[in-house]
Structure 1
Amino acid sequence: MELLLLGIYAFIAWLIFSKFRLLPWNIITGSITIVLPIIALTVLVLTLNVIAPSSEDVRVIRYVVQVVPQVRGRVIEVPVTGNTPVHKGDVLFKIDPTPFALQVKALEAQLVNAQGSANKRTQDLVAATAKSTAVRSQIDLATRRVAENRELVAHGAGDRFALEQAEATLKSLQADLAGARAQEAQVRALLGATVDDDQAEVAQIRAQLETAKWDLSQTTVVAPADGVVINLQLRPGSIVTPLLQNPAMSFVENDYQVIALFDQNELRMVAPGDEAEIALKTIPGKVLKAQVVSIVWAQGQGQLTPGGLLPLTGAEPTPPGRFAVRLEILPEDRDLFLAAGARGHAAIYTDHIEEIQILRKVIIRVGSYVNYLVLKV
C-alpha cells in the first residue's frame, strides 16, 4: 500500500513539474517534494497502526476432543472413516458388549433374590410378632398359677413341688419371650435399613445393576458433536481402555474460533465489538467480516514457574510477547468452511479517525488477492 501511495504521489509530481510545468524544479521545490511524502507517509502509517492495527498471524483453531471410552474392552466395529464428516450421535466405534450384558443379567438375578429375601423377612416379622404375643399370654397364665400356688403353700394347703414346677415354667416362658423379642428386633432392624424406600441390600444391588447397565451403554461410543475423525488408526480387534493417556481417536469439531496475535502496543484503542476483517490463505480473494469478541490480556511470559531457584532473566533476549484477540465471524460468512490451522492476516477498525481506515481496508483486499500467488519453484 505504501508503494501504491508513493506511485500516485510520484505521478502527480511528474504532472506538476514535467508534464504541465506548473512549478519550477529547484532546490526548494525539490526538497519539499521529496521530504513531504516521507513525513506524511510515516505519520499516516504510524497513525493507521494504532487506529486500525493489523496482524499477519491469524489462526483458525478448532476444538479437538480426545475420545476415551468409559469401559475397557475389545473393539468389534468401527463404522466411521477418517476425515469424513459425521454428525452428533453417530456411532464412532463399538466395544464387545458380552461381558457387560452378562453382568447385567447376573445382577438382575441377584435383585430378584434380594427382593424375595425382603418379602421373607416381612413374613418372619409377622411370625416373630405372633410368637411374642403368644408367649406373653402364656406368661400371664403362668404368673397367675405361681401366685395361686404360693398362696396355697403359705396357708399349708398347697404342694411345694407344684409351686416349684410353676415357677420353672414361668422362667422358661420368660426366656422364650426374650428370644422372641430378640428375633423380632433383628428382623425389624433389617427391614428398617432402607435407601429410597428400598431395603439396604436391595438398594445396593439395584445401584450395582444401574452401574452395570450404564457400562453396557458405554460399549457404543458416539460422536460428541458434528465434526470429523482425524488420523483414524482404530480397527476391530483393538483393545481400548479408559485411560486419558491412551485415547482411541481424535475428533475435530466443526465449531471453531479465530485468534489474531498483535503486538502489545497495538491494542490500546481496541475494544470488544470493534469491526474486523480477515483474509485467509485458504480462501484467496475473499475478505471475511468479523468483530472483536475479547482480548486475552495474558500470555506465558507473565507467569513464573514455582521452584526453588530465582527467576532467570536469561542471557539471551526474550522474544516480545504478543496478546491474542478473539475474532468472531459475522453471520454472512459463518457458513464458510475454515480449515483447522488456516493462517492469514486481519485488521481491526476502531472508532477513531475512521476516515483514513479505508487505506487499511484496501491493504487487506490487496493481500487477499495476493493469496492467489503460489511463490515457489
Structure 2
Amino acid sequence: MDIILLGIYSAIVWFVFIKKKWLPWNLTSQVIVVTIPIIALTVMILTLNVVAPSSADVRVFKYTVPIVPQVRGRVIEVAVEEGNRPVKKGDVLFRIDPTPYQQTVRGLEAQLSNAQAGQRELFEQLKAAKGKVTESQGGIQAASSRVREVQAKLELARKRVEQNKELVSTGAGNRFDLEKAETDLKEAEANLDAARSAEAQSRSAEVQSLASEQQIQQRLSAKVGPDYAQVVQIQAQLDNARWELDQTTVRAPVDGHVINLALRPGAFVASLPVTPALSLVEYTGQVIALFRQNELHQIKSGNEAEFILSTNPGHVIKAKVDSVIWAQGQGQMQISGTVPMTSVLTMPPSGFAVKFDVAEKDRDLFLAAGAAGQAAIYTDSVTFLHILRKIFIRVSAYTSYLVLKLH
C-alpha cells in the first residue's frame, strides 16, 4: 500500500512540476517533494498502528475430538469417510460386533425374571407363614380352653371320689359308685394330659411359624426402595449391559469432519483414551490474532475487525473483537522447588492474543484448522484513517492469489 501511495504522489508531482510546470522544479522544491512523503507516511503509519492495529499472525484453531469407544470389540462397519465431508452430531461413525453384549443382555434378562419370580414366591411364603402363625395362635387358644375345661372336670371328679369314699366308709354309699367316680377321675386326668400336650404342640407350631416368618422378613428386608435388593442389583447390571450394547454403535458427539481415519472393518478397538479409533474436527472454531503489547491499549470488545486467510484469497472476512486474552506463557509462575530463571526476563516480550467473533454472514464459510493470515482491528479513534487500513487488507487479500515460487 505504501508503494501505491508513493506512486500516486509521484504521479501528482510529475503532473504539477514536469508536465504542467505550475511550480518550478529546483533544489528547494525537490527537497520539499522528497521530505513531505517521508514525514506524512511516517506519521500516518504510526497513527494507523494505534487506531487501526494490524497483525500478520492470524490462526484458526479448532477443537479436535478423539473418538474412543466406550466398549471393546471387533469393528464390523465403518460408516464415514475421511476428508471434508460433513458429519452431523448423532451420525453413525462405526459399529462394533454386538453379539457378546446381546448375549449378556439376554442372560441378565433371564436372571431378572428368576429374581422377580423369587421375590413373588417370598411374598407368598410370607403370607403363608403369617397364616400359620394365626392358625397356631388359634390352636393355642383352643387348647388352653380345653385345658381349663378338663381341669374343671378333674376337680369335680376328685370331689366325687372323696365323697363316695366317705359314703362307703360309713356304709351309706355304694361301692360301684366309688369305682365309677375313680374311673371318671382317671379319664379326666388322661384328658388333661392330652389337652396339655395339644397346647404344647400348638405353642411349638407358633414358635416355628414365627421363626419362619422372621426368616422371610429378614430376606425381604434387604430392599432398595420398593424392590428386593437382588432384583435391584440384577436390574442395574441389565441396564449397564443394555447401555454397553447401545455403545457398540459409535456416534458423532459433535458436528465436524473426520480426520486420521485408519479404522477398517475387522480391526479390534478398546476403551483406551491413548488409542482413539479416529479423530473428529469440529466445524466451529476460534480465530485468534497476535498483537504486540503496545498495540492493545485502544482495543475494546465489540470493535470492528477484518481478517484474511491464505486459504481464502480475495475474501475479506468480517468480525468483531470478542475479547483480549490477557495472559501468555512468559507471565506464568509454576509451583516448583526451584528458583525461577532470571534469563526469562531478558527474553523479548511476547504479544497477546485477541479472539475474534466471526460475523453472521461469514459463519458458514469453511475455515480450515491451522489456516494463517492477516487481521486488522478498527478502534473508536481517528476513524477517517481506517479506510487506509481497509485498503491495505484488501490489497493483501488479492495478492494472496499470487503463488511466488519458480517450480
* Fold equivalence (TM over 0.5): yes
Q: Residue 87 of structure 2 contacts residue 258 of structure 2 at CA under 8 Å; is this kept in 1?
A: no
Aligned partner of 1:206 in structure 2 is 235
Amino acid at match of 1:108: E
Q: Compared with structure 1, are the counterparts of its residues 263 and 164 closer, same or farther at alpha carbon in structure 2 (3 Å cutoff)?
A: farther
CA positional deviation for 1:171: 4.1
Question: Is the 1:264–1:323 Cα contact (8 Å) retained in structure 2?
Answer: yes
DSSP 3-state at the match of 2:59: strand
2:306 counterpart SS class: strand
Cα displacement (A) at 1:22: 1.5
**Partners in 2 of 1:114 and 1:23 — Cα distance?**
112
Superposed displacement of residue 111, structure 1: 1.0
Given residue 94 of structure 2, which amino acid in structure 1 is its aligned partner? F
SS of the aligned residue for 2:61 comes to: strand
Contact 2:112 2:234 in 1 (8 A): yes
1:251-290 matches, cutoff 5 A:
251-290=280-319
- 1:248 offset after TM fit, Å? 0.5
TM-score with structure 2 setting the length: 0.84
- Measured in 1, the distance between the counterparts of 2:191 and 2:399 equals 124
Q: 3-state DSSP class of the match of 1:225?
A: coil
**Are 1:264 and 1:322, in contact at CA under 8 Å, matched by a contact in 2?**
yes
Deviates more, 1:225-234 or 1:352-361: 225-234
Partner of 2:45: 45
CA offsets 1:158-185 (integer angstroms, 9 cap, x no match): 6667656654543443333233123223
Name the SS of the counterpart of 1:208 in structure 2. Answer: helix
Q: Which residue in the other structure is 2:260 paired with?
A: 231
Residue 58 (structure 1) aligned with residue 19 (structure 2)? no
SS class of match (2:342): coil
Shift of 1:361: 0.4
What one-letter code is carried by the residue in structure 2 that aligns with 1:139? I
Q: Deviations 1:58-88 (Å, cap 9, x if unpaired)? A: 1122221100000011111113222151432
Asked if 2 retains the 8 angstrom alpha-carbon contact of 1:83 and 1:231, the reply is: no
Q: In the TM superposition, what whole-angstrom CA distance separates every residue of 1:113-157 from its partner, at most 9, and x where no partner exists? A: 111111111210111011000110111123334445666777856
CA distance in 1, matches of 2:211, 2:43: 100
1:74 corresponds to which residue?
74
Q: Aligned letter for 1:66?
A: P
> Does the Cα contact within 8 Å between 2:317 and 2:362 map onto a contact in 1?
yes
What is aligned with 2:125?
Answer: 124
Equivalent residue in structure 2 for 1:318, among 334, 337, 347: 347
Q: What corresponds to 2:208 in structure 1?
A: 179
* 1:36 paired to 2:65: no
SS of the equivalent of 2:380 reads coil
Amino acid at match of 1:71: V
Query: 1:194, CA displacement in angstroms?
Result: 3.8
Identify which range, 162-171 or 289-298, moves more after superposition. 162-171
For the Cα contact (< 8 Å) 1:86–1:223, is it kept in 2? no
* Inter-partner Cα distance in structure 1 for 2:200 and 2:293: 97
Residue identity (%): 49
Structure-1 residue corresponding to 2:106:
105
Q: Answer whether contact 1:16 1:23 (CA < 8 A) is retained.
A: no
Deviates more, 1:367-376 or 1:78-87: 78-87
Q: Given the alignment, which residue of 329, 332, 344 partners 1:303?
A: 332
CA contact (8 A) 1:60 1:338 kept: yes
CA distance in 1, matches of 2:370, 2:269: 29
In structure 1, the residue corresponding to 2:49 is in which secondary structure?
helix
**Contiguous gaps of at least 5 residues in structure 1:** none
Describe the superposition over 1:323-365 as per-residue Cα deviations: whole angstroms up to 9, x where unpaired: 2222222222222222221111111111211101100001001
1:295 Cα deviation from its structure 2 partner: 2.0
CA distance in 2, matches of 1:190, 1:45: 88
More helix, by proportion: 2
Aligned with 1:357: secondary structure? helix
- The answer for unaligned runs of 5 or more in structure 2 is 160-184
> Does 99-108 or 250-259 show the bigger shift?
250-259
8 Å Cα contact 1:71-1:218 kept in structure 2 = yes
CA deviations 1:34-79 (Å, max 9, x no partner) are 3333232222112111111111111122221100000011111113
Q: Secondary structure at the match of 2:375?
A: strand
**Alpha-carbon distance in 2 for matches of 1:281, 1:136:** 96
CA RMSD, 1 decimal:
2.5
Aligned residues: 376
Q: TM-score, normalised by structure 1?
A: 0.90
The DSSP-based 3-state class of the residue aligned with 2:124 is helix
Tell me the distance in 1 between the aligned counterparts of 2:74 and 2:81. Answer: 19
**Is the partner of 2:216 in helix, strand or coil?**
helix
Equivalences for 1:119-158 in 2 at 5 Å?
Answer: 119-148=120-149, 156=158
CA contact (8 A) 1:85 1:226 kept: no
Q: Which residue pairs with 1:362 in the alignment?
A: 391
Does the CA-based 8 Å contact 1:275-1:291 persist in structure 2? yes
Q: Which moved more, 1:47-56 or 1:30-39?
A: 30-39
| 2:182 alignment counterpart | none
Higher mean displacement: 349-358 or 142-151: 142-151
